[in-house]
Chains A and B, each alone.
Chain A
Amino acid sequence: MTPRESLSFVVNGERVEVPVASADTLLEVLRYHLGLTGTKQGCDKGDCGACTVLVDGRPILACCTLAREVADRAVTTIEGLAGSDGPSRLQRAFDQAGALQCGFCQPGMMLSASALLSRHPRPTTDQIKAALAGNLCRCTGYTKIVAAVELAASDPPLATSVQLGPAADGRIMVGAPARKPDAIAKATGAARYADDITLPRMAHGVILRSPHAHARIVSIDVGPALALEGVYAAMTGEDLAITFGIIPWTPDETVLARGVVRYVGEGVAAVAARDEATARVAAAAIRVEYEPLPAVLSPAHAMADGAPLVHTHDWKGRPREDNVCKDVSLEFGDVDQALARAAVVVEGEWHYGGSTHAAIEPHCAVASWGPDGDLTVHSSTQVSHYLHRELAKVLELDPARVRVIAPTVGGAFGGKSEPFDLEFCAAFLARRAGRPVKILYSREEVFAAHRGRHPMDFKFSLGLDADGRVAAVDSDVIVDGGAYHSFGLVTTYYAGQLLTGPIGFGTYRFRSRRIYTNKPACGPKRGHGSVQPRFPLETALDEAALALGLDPIEVRRRNALGNGATTINGFRLGSCGIRECLDRVEAASEWKRRYHAMPPNRGLGVATSMYISGTAYPIYPNEMPQSGVVVRADRSGRLTVFSGTNEIGQGSSAMLAAVVAEETGVPVERITVVAGDTELTPVDLGSYSSRVTLMAGEAARQAGAALGRAMTEALAEHAGVGLDQVTRALGTWHAGGRPYPTADVLVLAETKFGTLATTGGFRTIRVGGDYRGGTIGASPAYSATAHVAEVEVDPDTGVVVVAKIWAAHDCGRAISPIAVEGQIEGSVYMGFSEAMLEGWEFRDNGLPVGPNLLDYRIATILDTPVIEAMIVEEPDPNGPYGAKEAGEGPLHPAIPAIANAIRHACGARLRHLPFTPERVLAAIRAAAANADQRR
């Protein structure tokens, strides 16, 4: 063992003595020796700020500070911000302002803010941004973080109630601005994320990964690893042969590579040891002999004649002949004829570069086996239920003996929405080692796991009639899939199917092909599959409108679909508030006054989008509810809501509590939500495809309403009044002129009906087009969004500053307006960041250019534009209270709106993401050359 010396320092006002090794960082000592797990680890090496703590009052990076260096100094962690009278004003302000989504970056953020406020009690907005510029947040777009610091620095007392304002339309909770019930735990560092879990005798696992993009595994010898002291178990791909995949039709993955590695970073073996350092040494000691194979890194190469095959056989052992893993063609109407007759046709090639989720929390799983052979896996997952199923399948276990628990999840964005190697490996190694095993991805491993936004190449044509109507859209899409299917079957459809609103098409044709390449598998990133085609559509629409002399907003209005419309591919839009969205961004940006009067090199751009509120059908065919909720009451007047949903920071638990409060009058303060635990909660399919508010919200509404009915009947009987004489408000019901606290009403209900537990379930609503593939992209409801972006272009360097984005989003009904605003702001940020900064790029040998948070740049608070989020409510008949999605749709328009604004500013048309200064400058020159030619 490493020699340790005693270190003495003061942490949160208390002197501690702790034995440390020379190589221990302050972060490791705080988290793993002192149990102060509120200090987070995000990037390994000083790029993200999640590990920020105060040393002698100054915020510093604990991961870049040797523990020895703080001897006798005073360290403050998030646990030390609260006083004896509870959370500090700053912590409560973060809660009240809605600044806490996943919460993972927030302890560091709050410590930076705390240091700022001690020096500048009334900071300016610029001072706040400067002080927080080293703390990356992936959820919030920083908007509510700035608001939270401003609130903390102001005088008014903070709210003590959950509800901060009136509810909507005579309701009692739905529509009310409210704090999130789980926010203060995140603000104080009390929330437990996967890596905060430590179990007795727990070992640490490490997965050894391939250095080759494509190679045959000749041999693996784990012997040298097992020979090391403190190493408990090892495994290879040969130990788990059963294939899996999130889509049941395309199970092309194994836990670890078997025979062939297909991308740099693919797992080949794993070890468990007494600590992570030992496990890393052991993993490095494993001997793997590879025979390198030629790799294909681009779809163009992969589709060329004679290209090496990423998969020579499919999962059933059938030989494959090419690298096309899915090929979809659909045509609606006579596109060729419509294009021939169009007044203007814009056509060309567009390229959407890939991007990754970069949630600040790295994936982590902790697996343990009970004495009776039951497996429990804690994992930072968005899909507890699917993980449950796949664990049982691959490990060949009775599903009834497997339990998956999603603890607090530190951001996901689609990056944690399928099973990953670490969950299987932790479970397998834990069985083999006879002790619990934790596996925590390094940041580089998070990049290898990927499942991020697919790069797509488009050959795209759009034709407008003389009156500005979209006569035809023709899109040929090549989707760069990476080495495995992931959600690829769905992605291939989404790349075409989700494009047909809120702008209606006269005719439409798309061909979409997803191609295997020797890179990490792409998958669903926020706005799965449909963010990419928005880019050619909305920029081509702009070009076409310009050619016709039409205002960009006006052309979108003319083509806007309305409530009850059916898209050309057969999707019914219950509600579609795109017109109001356009009106709102037009007014807020003062478009009419400013569009033709912008200063040089400054421009405005508009774009729209539509997105699903969940997929109509479950991933695996079944007739059971897609989401179930149980509400049970106890005699204290408290309700517990059980739901299989995964709270990933988006606010699903708060939403469930608000819905149940609405239906029962029981205040949110008295509602506990138990979520994402497959043993305790009824099934929900998971937090993906923006399904939770509509589906779990509806299930909760039913369960809450059933309990509400029982309460009504019991109180009416008790008070001797008719059912219509019973009214409810939050905390108190009324009957016969008398108030009854909800706790008393629950006692009456339990007395009358017996033990109180009610259920609700969302069942599939049959929707979609009547053709093969017509259900993929079909959803119970569709959101609509419009953005206006304002940019300033430096014509000498090509540097673009996105100054502001106005985003109006139709979410049907905002059950929690603060949470909806947060989703809009975070979506806008993420779209902006991938448009301007993020590049998912590889070297010729298949190595990612920079799989870390310094080389892969996500926007800081200083880069992020001012974001003005506007909620539009066009209630949908299929949503609870009319609610639709808000978490993904608002991302889409950011990218084309920025591109259109750059065009407006300087004439440069960008058809290649991201919009680097190099590309912008080249586009400026191309535009100038074109203008010269025309003269």
Chain B
Amino acid sequence: MMRLPEVRVHVPASLAEAVALHSRHPGALYLAGGTDLIPNLKHRLYDTSDLISLSRILPVGVAVADGEVSLGAGSLLVDLIEDPALRTHLPALAEALALVAGPLHRNRATLGGNVMLDTRCLYYNQTPAWRAALGHCLKKDGDFCHVIGSGKRCVAARANDSAPLLMALDAQLDFLTAAGPLVVPIRRLYAIDGRFPGHCHTPPSALLTGIRVPAPRGLRRATYRKVRRRAAIDFPQLGVAVALEQDEVGRTASLVVVLGALMPEPRLVKQLDFALGRGLDDTVIDRVAAVAAEQAHPQESIHGSSDWRKEVTAVETRRALHSLRVPIGR
């Protein structure tokens, strides 16, 4: 069977020790649930011989205070999905996390791991023999992107289900680094180039410890829709997250649409101001959907044709908005 490469596993007793270990072993990788990291290591995607185990030190749990929902980065997806506080205050996140992979993954995978997930590509997430036969790629050991047929930028897909929704909700990420704590808005986390490391704007030593999401107020609601071929296990071919705030008569106060799994960076859809201050009728919804699709540039780094995923972007955006909107003039 496919084995892991020779690695050293460090088991720090505290977060500070974990970060300190990383300083001593700069190429080290943090290991949380491992459901993605271990297969990737088996595929020899990382040139490291050091893993820093976080499973017993990462903060876990959900806290609601001061208008914020705080989530420990080490929280298992399965625990968050069932967490009463999360289901009350951020049901969309609980529902989105329930769509991650399969139940066996969710029983070990952590929220922090999902946020920091490496980007994915059909030319990258393969065995060393396969990648050698290919001649390697821009993301690993090569200088050519087989998806776009050039050598400029890696277009591996940001295929984590948590990212679009947390971006739509404007989550803040708490990292620990050797220099101290670091707060990064998730909207500024992901790079436009999918290469590892570097696919996130934080330094590799930065350890994600917590995720803070502004608690919804009034009629602010959110949803996440995932498109995949199978009803379980699969990564998304497309993820659409929408956060919508409407007043009591159905006028839109704010609207954020984020598209995932198309490119290395989830796409925060721009130019939606036309939808503000008015009711979300079918015409407006169709226009928002069209704008989202217009801004979607699906790369065939993962399964599903680019044209189809672009078209479905409009469909799923429309459906997301329909599921959220308050009837006009209620």
Residue numbers of A with Cβ under 8 A of B are: 2, 21-25, 27-28, 41, 44-47, 49, 52, 58-61, 63-66, 68-69, 112, 130-135, 209, 211-212, 264, 276-277, 280, 362, 440, 442-444, 796-798, 837, 843, 845, 847, 849-852, 854-855, 857, 859-863, 917-918, 921
Contact = CB atoms under 8 A, between A and B. Distances in A.
Nearest to A72: B56
Contacts of B303: 855
A133 B7 contact: no
A133 B103 contact: yes
B31 interface: yes
Interface stretch (B33-41, B200-208, B245-253): B33-41
A135 B104 CA distance: 8
Contacts, number: 162
Interface of B: 1-9, 11, 31, 34-35, 38-39, 42-43, 51, 53, 55, 78, 101-105, 107-108, 122, 125-127, 129-130, 132-134, 227, 229-234, 303-305, 307-308, 311-312, 315
Contacts of A854: 125, 233-234
B6 A847 contact: no
B38 A66 contact: yes
Given A28-B1, A860-B231, A917-B308, 5 more contacts: A22-B9, A49-B104, A134-B104, A134-B233, A860-B230
A918 B9 contact: no
A133 B3 contact: no
| 4 A-B pairs with the lowest CB-CB distances in the bound complex, closest first | A134-B102, A211-B133, A133-B232, A862-B231
Contacts of B1: 27-28, 41, 44, 63, 276, 362, 440, 442
Contacts of A131: 103
26 contacts: A22-B6, A22-B9, A23-B5, A28-B1, A44-B1, A45-B2, A45-B38, A46-B104, A49-B102, A52-B104, A59-B103, A64-B34, A68-B9, A69-B34, A69-B53, A132-B103, A212-B133, A276-B3, A280-B3, A444-B129, A798-B308, A837-B229, A859-B230, A861-B232, A862-B231, A918-B308
A861 B8 CA distance: 38
A857 B230 contact: yes
Contacts of A61: 35, 104-105, 108
Given A68-B53, A264-B133, A857 B229 contact: yes
A25 B4 contact: yes
A797 B308 CA distance: 8
A797 B9 CA distance: 46
Given A64-B39, A133-B103, A837-B230, A855 B122 contact: yes
Contacts of B51: 22, 66
B108 A65 contact: yes
Task: Give the interface SS of chain A, mostly helix, strand, loop or mixed.
Answer: loop
A183 to B, nearest CB: 24
Contacts of A64: 34-35, 38-39, 105, 108
A46 B31 CA distance: 16
Given A64-B108, A68-B9, A68-B53, A211 B132 contact: yes
B133 A862 contact: no
A131 B232 CA distance: 11
B7 A60 contact: no
A847 B43 CA distance: 16
> In the complex, which of the residues B2, B31, B78 has the most CB atoms of chain A within 10 Å of its own CB atom?
B2
B233 A133 contact: yes
A24 B1 CA distance: 12
A147 B132 CA distance: 46
Nearest to B307: A918
B122 A850 contact: yes
B19 to A, nearest CB: 20
Given A440-B1, A444-B130, A44 B42 contact: yes
Contact of B103 (A27, A130, A264, A851): A130
A340 B57 CA distance: 79
B111 to A, nearest CB: 16
Given A854-B233, A862-B231, A60 B130 contact: no
A578 to B, nearest CB: 33
A65 B305 CA distance: 33
Nearest to A132: B103
Given A64-B34, A211-B133, A918-B308, A863 B230 contact: yes
Contacts of B227: 797
Contact of B38 (A46, A47, A112): A46
B104 A59 contact: yes
B130 A851 contact: yes
Contacts of B102: 49, 133-134, 860
Nearest to B146: A843
Contacts of A843: 134
A675 B210 CA distance: 58
A44 B35 contact: no
Nearest to A45: B39
Given A65-B38, A211-B133, A444-B127, A134 B232 contact: yes
A209 B230 CA distance: 31
B6 to A, nearest CB: 6
Contacts of A277: 3
A18 B23 CA distance: 31
Contact of B108 (A23, A60, A211, A850): A60
Nearest to A48: B233
Nearest to B315: A796
Nearest to B127: A444
B104 A112 contact: yes
B34 A211 contact: no
A211 B135 CA distance: 10
Contacts of B108: 60-61, 64-65
> In the complex, which of the residues B107, B307, B308 has the most CB atoms of chain A within 10 Å of its own CB atom?
B107
Nearest to A47: B233
Contacts of B308: 798, 917-918, 921
B38 A23 contact: no
B204 to A, nearest CB: 20
A860 B232 contact: yes
Nearest to B302: A855
B114 to A, nearest CB: 14
A845 B229 contact: no
A65 B38 CA distance: 7
A46 B130 contact: no
> In the complex, which of the residues A59, A133, A440 has the most CB atoms of chain B within 10 Å of its own CB atom?
A133
A112 B103 contact: yes
A46 B126 CA distance: 13
Contacts of B129: 209, 211, 444
A262 B310 CA distance: 38
B34 A66 contact: yes
B95 to A, nearest CB: 13
Contacts of A69: 34, 53, 55
A131 B53 CA distance: 28
Nearest to A444: B127
Contacts of A68: 9, 11, 53
B107 A60 contact: yes
Contacts of B6: 2, 21-23
Contacts of A857: 229-230, 234
A531 to B, nearest CB: 21
A453 B139 CA distance: 34
B258 to A, nearest CB: 20
A25 B229 CA distance: 29
Contacts of B78: 58
Contacts of A133: 102-103, 231-233
Contacts of A918: 304-305, 307-308
